[in-house]
Amino acid sequence: MYGLLIGGLDSASKDKILFNGKDIAEKGLENHRRNHVSFIFQAYNLIDYMTLLENVKLTSKLPPEPILEKWD
């Protein structure tokens, strides 16, 4: 649960999540994930409430479409 919050994959229902003393929601969770977080998924599971494109965007700085086209 806490990993989802500090990683910016989920937002807090109350209070703030601070990184380097700043609320991660201020510049946006996507910005926080892109610039400050890396994920290593232990079982290569996808996050069930996100689309395939959104899952790939979390793990790559490259556009997701060419990556997914390799798996067709």
33 and 1 in a single domain? The answer is yes
Q: Amino acid identity of 28?
A: G
- Using CA atoms, how far residue 8 sits from 40, 42, 46, 57, 65, in Å, is 14, 18, 16, 13, 23
Give the range of the structural domain holding residue 31, as residue numbers without chain letter. Answer: 1-37
Residues 47 and 25 in one domain: no
Let me know whether 28 and 7 are in one domain. yes
Domain count for the chain: 2
pTM: 0.45
**Tens of pLDDT, residue by residue, the chain (72 residues):** 556 566 666 677 777 888 888 888 888 888 888 888 766 666 667 788 888 888 888 888 788 888 788 765
Joined together, the tokens standing for residue 22 give 């700043």
- State the pLDDT at residue 34: 81
Which pLDDT score is estimated for 24?
81
Residue 6 shares a structural domain with residue 30? yes
Distance between CA atoms of 18 and 25, rounded to whole angstroms?
9
